[in-house]
Amino acid sequence: MNPEISVLILTAASIGLFHTLFGPDHYLPFIVMSKARNWSMWKTTWVTTLCGLGHVAGSIALGAIGIAFGIGLGKLTFFESVRGNMAAWAFIAFGLLYMVWGIYKARRKHGHTHLFSNVHSHADNEEEKGKVDRKNLTPWVLFVIFVLGPCEPLIPVLMYPAMESSYSGVWLVSLVFGVVTIATMLSVVLISTFGLKAMPFGRMERYTHAIAGGTILLSGCAIVFLGL
């Protein structure tokens, strides 16, 4: 392994870690949705992993296409920024809708809505709750948003520089970046979720859906207006 690839591997690991930690949109949605929808730790794990894979794979696929067809870095960077804006506004739209639904659900004493679930009866026992959970579209909405969301530094900072050494180096730095990114997401999500589930919300429990939606909305706003 040549020195350039070794440096890029260390860079990939560092960027994967800090890019994730400093991007709250990488973990806050899973933490708040796990609490609001009462996901098990197993479901929280697979939803986070699935979305992380989609997030990383989208940028890797785009970078691979760019390298294979000799597309200029400037064009790919522009396309990544467009994808990023789309994902951010999708976060905002989803968060806003979910927050409004959460407020409606909290204020309606015995209400029921079909906006985020494909069922037609109220979940009054554990079996019915399981049916609601299985048919819930929320994980797949998050997955689509994360596929849209780019890993901004991956292509210009890691993949294209690695290409100057070898194609195997491209895949190696991409793999390291992806593994560290997903591992960091999982670590933050699972630790935070475990702590949040142990906290008593009392009367605020009925507003967990609204809080979750508001948190996702703010995450999208942070991306658009603060560049996080």
pTM of the model: 0.83
CB 9 within 8 A of CB 169: no
CB 174 within 8 A of CB 158: yes
Percentage of the chain lying above the pLDDT 70 cut: 87
Give tens-digit pLDDT for 137-190: 889 999 999 998 888 889 888 888 988 888 888 999 999 999 999 999 999 999
Give tens-digit pLDDT for 35-70: 999 899 999 999 999 999 999 999 999 999 998 888
pLDDT recorded at residue 3: 80
What helix, strand, coil percent values describe the chain, rounded to 5? 80, 0, 20
For residue 148, give both structure tokens: 């849209």
d(CA 223, CA 152): 12
So where are the chain's domains? 3-108+139-226
pLDDT recorded at residue 131: 46
d(CA 78, CA 86): 13
